Amino acid sequence: MPHDGPQGVAAPAAWPLLAWFNSVLTLGGIAFFTLLAAHNLRLGRGDRRGANRLSVFMFAALACGNILGRHWTASLGGPGTAGPVQQVVMTLGAPLFLGVASWLAYIGFEPYVRRQWPHLLVASTRLLDGRWRDPLVGRSVLAGVLAAIATCLIVFTSIAVTRLAGWAVVVPGLAPGTLDGPASFVGHVTVTSSLYLLVAMIYLAVLLLARLLLRSTRAAWIGLGVVFCALYVGWGRVFLGPYPAVLVACGLALAVTSVFVLWKSGLLALGVWLVVVLVLRDTPWTFDLTRWYAWPTWFSTVLIAGLAFWGFRNVLGRQSAFPPRALE
């Protein structure tokens, strides 16, 4: 996934192009959703209760992440400093934008996706309705977790190949704040996860726009894969080096898996996939649990295992994971 940290030393010249690609894709998707939302509101269409709940969740997630990751001061303001009012505005400004953007996105895509590809929204709609123990919710969560782990194994293997081959271009890096303490790391994960959930909705914007332009469902899905493959290859060019084999392997792994997860398991599974990929990518993993930075390994392991257990438990429903006959 595109990284939020400083520029990679592998290809700093490619960073501006990737930043522009991200900006056009995100802002263009939000603008497209705004037009769809205005049309749907004029016709009285759209699940407003679901949009309200999604908007509140996205606002709360990003706000909590900003609060945890921000260094607060008691300064009253002045030249070059931020007072209490400025700190609150800077902390809540982005969450307000994300909440409004999520509301417009949901009102924009929900009627069209429900009519064209209803299976993409079944699990996410049930989750927004508060049905936490629904088996379809569990299946989507579990599918997202397992697919993310498989994808990251491919990406990490590609990086390992570059090092074993002696190319020495992939420079290890950590996202800002990941080693600044538990609150900062949890804040980073929360902030980036909320933004990546918006990215999951941008997938639907690209899919709907491709369907509108290409007039073919199959071509729309292929177009979706091409767009995000270009995005992920651009990410690889910045952070993994100039080697085509590595870029193609990582780009295809991320794009094909994410599109397949959306196609087979829906929007909720794609959101979980993005979040787990983020956690696997940005955690400073270590097998030496006595090191001072070992706590993110514990946190991320518990988080991913908790998501997997939640999904697995929901899939079982009322059945036991260890039925009496299996123990005989």
**Tokens for 15?**
């960073």
Q: How far apart are CA 207 and CA 266, in angstroms?
A: 13
DSSP secondary-structure letter at 292?
T
Mean pLDDT of 112-129: 95
CA atoms within 13 A on the CB side of 275: 25
Between 317 and 265, whose confidence is greater? 265
CB count in 10 Å sphere of residue 41: 14
Mapped onto helix, strand or coil, the DSSP state of residue 264 is helix
Instruction: Give me 149's structure tokens.
Output: 């782990």
How much is the pLDDT for 81? 56
Q: Is the pLDDT higher at 239 or at 39?
A: 39
Domain residue spans in the chain?
12-70+86-316
Radius of gyration of the chain (CA): 21
Residue 172: closest CA among 180, 162, 186, 183: 162
State the pLDDT at residue 325: 53
Q: What is the pLDDT of residues 201-228, one digit of tens each?
A: 999 999 999 999 999 999 999 999 999 9
